[in-house]
Structure formats: C-alpha cells, structure tokens
C-alpha cells in the first residue's frame, strides 16, 4: 500500500524508472514538501531521518548509509539533503563513496542563505542563527535539551558570547518573525531578520 508521501508501508518507494529519492534531515521536511508541491516534482520521493540527529551528528553518516543501501535498487537517482551538519567531512566522504550527491556547505544555514553569501558573513562568530524549523522547534531542540527550562541561570554559560540572533526565513510568515524576535528577547540578544527563501535547497533539488 502506498501512502500520500509516496512511500510503501515499510518506508520504501515502489520501483520506478526515473524516480528520485531525497534522503533528508527531518528539519527540512516541511520545506522539501512545499517545493515538491510548488514545482510539481511528482517524480521525487522523500525519506526523512530524525531531525534530532542535529544534536547527535555521529548518527547522521550511518543513517544515510543505511538509507542509501536500502533504496539503491529502487531509484534512478538518490540525493542527500544534508550539508556537513557537524559530521566533520565524514558525510561528504560517505556520499562520494556511495556515489550520491549532497548539498555543499557547512550546514543548512549556509545553503539557505547561499554558500557564497554565507561565507561573506564568516566573521559573524557572535551570531546565533535560526531557520523556520528551528524557530518553530526552538524549545524542543535548544531550550529543553540544554536544560534551560529547568536551569535558566545557565543561559550565560551557553550563549554569553553571542550578541545577535539572525533569523533566516524560508517563508513569509509574520508569526514566525515575531516568534524569532521573542526568542532573541528571551536570550538577551539583538534581532536581525534575513529573508532567504529556500536558497540552494531549491536550486539543488531542481537539478535532479
């Protein structure tokens, strides 16, 4: 049985010539589904790995390897929608070995803003970045895992060297801008909003 996502009940897509599987971080699921809809990319199926692996980057490479191995015989093209994401170059090496493409860049902030433009901000070592996903999931992915819901006095220890919160927005959503601004206030940081759209995520997916 095929679900609305295009996957079978066991999580795999049916064999089909010309189909593409995107193996993505769960933090990008909303954006990739939106791009599929917007562009009519019906030939693309999506398999997401847990977004929480951003907090455990050692799990990303084994997870991607397993997903590629399971899907290789079912797809004409497999694309990995991750940047390096804290793997220290290991994900790039694994993708090269497996013969699959991935998005270049240090992490998803870079490909939303564009690798060259992000590099131009390389001196922003005092900037804390949010995307749409992280704005929605800030408490679940940042505040609670760091124990700040229980020990707010630890805020300075974790974020004392930051000066600005930079919100890189993928969509026009005033409620997310206000949510990001409220997070900046909670963290005691100045606030900057940079609308980026989908950036190189869109252009890389368009190529496949």
Name the pairing type of β-strands 127-130 and 77-81: unpaired
Kindly report, residue by residue over 127-171, the tens digit of the pLDDT: 899 999 999 999 998 999 999 999 999 999 999 999 999 999 999
Q: pTM for the full model?
A: 0.78
Kindly report, residue by residue over 84-97, the tens digit of the pLDDT: 888 999 999 999 99
Long-range CB contacts (< 8 A, 24+ apart) of 132-136?
Answer: 132/30, 132/31, 132/169, 132/170, 132/171, 132/173, 132/176, 133/27, 133/28, 133/30, 133/31, 133/51, 134/27, 135/167, 135/176, 135/179, 135/180, 135/183, 136/176, 136/179
Percent of the chain at pLDDT > 90 equals 66
Residues of the chain with pLDDT under 70: 1-17, 122-123
């Amino acid at each position: 049985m095929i679900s609305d996502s295009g996957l079978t009940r066991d999580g795999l897509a049916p064999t089909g010539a010309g189909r593409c599987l995107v193996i993505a971080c769960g933090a990008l699921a909303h954006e990739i589904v939106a791009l599929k809809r917007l562009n009519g990319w019906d030939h693309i199926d999506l398999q997401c790995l847990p977004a929480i692996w951003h907090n455990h980057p050692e799990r990303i490479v084994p997870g991607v390897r397993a997903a590629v191995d399971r899907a290789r015989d079912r797809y004409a093209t497999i694309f990995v929608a991750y940047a390096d994401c804290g793997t220290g170059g290991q994900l790039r090496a694994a993708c090269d070995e497996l013969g699959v493409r991935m998005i270049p860049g240090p992490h998803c902030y870079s490909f939303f803003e564009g690798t060259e433009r992000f590099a131009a901000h390389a001196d922003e070592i005092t900037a804390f970045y949010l995307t749409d996903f992280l704005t929605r999931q800030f408490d679940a992915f940042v505040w609670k895992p760091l124990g700040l819901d229980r020990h707010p006095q630890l805020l300075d220890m974790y974020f004392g060297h930051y000066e600005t919160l930079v919100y890189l927005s993928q969509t026009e959503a005033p409620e997310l801008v206000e949510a990001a601004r409220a997070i900046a206030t909670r963290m005691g940081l100045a606030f900057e909003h940079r609308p980026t759209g989908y950036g190189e995520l869109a252009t890389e997916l368009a190529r496949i």
